[in-house]
């Protein structure tokens, strides 16, 4: 099964010409409270486990038009980026949707989160791109189908089609049609998640490579799927009961376990920087002093703070202090 087979199935083997001069899409970045790390099918971006996320207010906005030249062109935050790995990845994804081989795209994206720094920029980017393509071609697809298409570009993008809490159902079908985002209808207005930036530089190893390396060599990875299954059940219970302490404990434990798997791989994968560890210790110190603040961390040096609204002043102070050492 190839990605093109999935696209043909969803679009009913129909590749219409654009219905508009410009397509537009916007999607939030999402932060996984229970992580996915590792794939059962890398071609279709099918995960080994389910995962669970909370969408951020930041994200990506994308506009798609037909290119006026004989090649794709990509603009990211106002800069032309047609000759790098990012552009190659976008072009390969867009190959799935060309009405004919000589059709080329012009894609302009603005991202309000740092690129390739472990802040889910690719999730927001591919989700916004799929929404823009849906608008451009007039597919009028439902969110579940769009989630499957976004997953083909970036796995966690399937969770960025909705605000709030979203589960990425791992699924079991070989074709991956049952692997998509499922929103959880829970309103928790006091819950906050805020990135704490320690570095805006691109991470030294991309997530896809790191996942493969971890699965292939980490002696701890065998226990990871059971950890995720347990954490996912407990996380849903904590959210249903609006038990913030349990939510924070589960999210922080899950993130640390994922990074332990990576650090036990060979060669070891360590996204932590000195400022990352300093930020963690500051969070632990605040919590010891009676301030319920937790963190999670994806594949990058930056952490995300989890807290309730009454802790905002402590979080603001922590972010301001950390900004002095960010690189």
Q: Are strands 51-66 and 165-168 parallel, antiparallel or unpaired?
A: antiparallel
pLDDT for res 201:
81
pLDDT in tens, 150-181: 999 999 999 999 999 999 999 999 999 999 99
Instruction: Please tell me the pTM assigned to this model.
Output: 0.91
pLDDT for res 117:
43
To the nearest whole number, what is the mean pLDDT of the chain?
92
**Distance from C-alpha of 249 to C-alpha of 252, rounded to nearest angstrom:** 5
Cβ of 310: how many Cβ atoms within 10 Å? 11
22 burial level (CB within 10 Å; 0-12, 13-18, 19+): middle
Tell me which residue of 40, 322, 295 sits closest to 173, measured CA to CA: 40
More confident: 83 or 237: 237
Tokens of 123: 């999730």
Q: Are strands 51-66 and 105-111 parallel, antiparallel or unpaired?
A: antiparallel
Tokens of 176: 């991956």
Domains of the chain and CATH, by start: 3-184 (3.30.230.10), 191-323 (3.30.70.890)
For the segment 175-199, the average pLDDT, to the nearest whole number, is 94
pLDDT class for 323, splitting at 50, 70, 90? Answer: low
Which of 19-28, 197-206, 245-254, 270-279 has the lowest average pLDDT?
197-206
For the segment 175-196, the average pLDDT, to the nearest whole number, is 95
Tell me which residue of 251, 270, 252, 250 sits closest to 261, measured CA to CA: 270
319 burial level (CB within 10 Å; 0-12, 13-18, 19+): middle
For the segment 256-261, the average pLDDT, to the nearest whole number, is 98
């Amino acid at each position: 099964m190839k990605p093109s087979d999935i696209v043909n199935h969803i679009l009913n083997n129909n590749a219409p010409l654009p219905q508009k001069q410009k397509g537009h899409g916007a999607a939030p970045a999402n932060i996984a409270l229970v992580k996915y790390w590792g794939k059962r099918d890398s071609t279709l971006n099918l995960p080994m486990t389910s995962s669970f996320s909370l969408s951020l207010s930041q994200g990506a906005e994308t506009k798609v038009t037909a290119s006026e030249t004989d090649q794709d062109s990509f603009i990211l935050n106002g800069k032309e980026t047609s000759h790098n790995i990012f552009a190659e990845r976008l072009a390969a994804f867009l190959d799935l949707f060309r009405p004919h081989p000589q059709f080329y795209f012009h894609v302009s994206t603005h991202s309000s989160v740092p690129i390739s720094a472990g802040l889910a920029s690719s999730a927001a980017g591919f989700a916004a791109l799929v929404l823009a393509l849906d608008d451009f071609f007039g597919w009028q697809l439902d969110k579940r189908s769009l989630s499957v298409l976004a997953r083909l570009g970036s796995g966690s993008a399937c969770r960025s089609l909705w605000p709030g809490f979203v589960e990425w159902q791992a699924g079991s079908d070989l074709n991956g049609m049952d692997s998509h985002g499922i929103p959880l209808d829970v309103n928790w207005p006091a819950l906050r998640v805020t990135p704490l930036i320690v570095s805006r530089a691109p991470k030294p190893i991309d997530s896809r490579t790191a996942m493969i390396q971890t699965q292939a060599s980490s002696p701890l990875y065998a226990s990871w799927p059971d950890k995720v299954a347990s954490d996912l059940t407990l996380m849903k219970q904590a959210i249903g009961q609006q038990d913030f302490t349990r939510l924070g404990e589960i999210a922080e434990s899950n993130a640390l376990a994922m990074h332990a798997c990576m650090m036990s791989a060979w060669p070891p994968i360590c996204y932590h920087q000195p400022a990352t560890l300093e930020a963690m210790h500051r969070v632990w110190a605040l919590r010891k002093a009676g301030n319920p603040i937790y963190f999670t961390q994806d594949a990058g040096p930056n952490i995300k703070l989890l807290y309730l609204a009454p802790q905002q002043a402590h979080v603001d102070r922590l972010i301001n202090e950390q900004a002095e050492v960010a690189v």
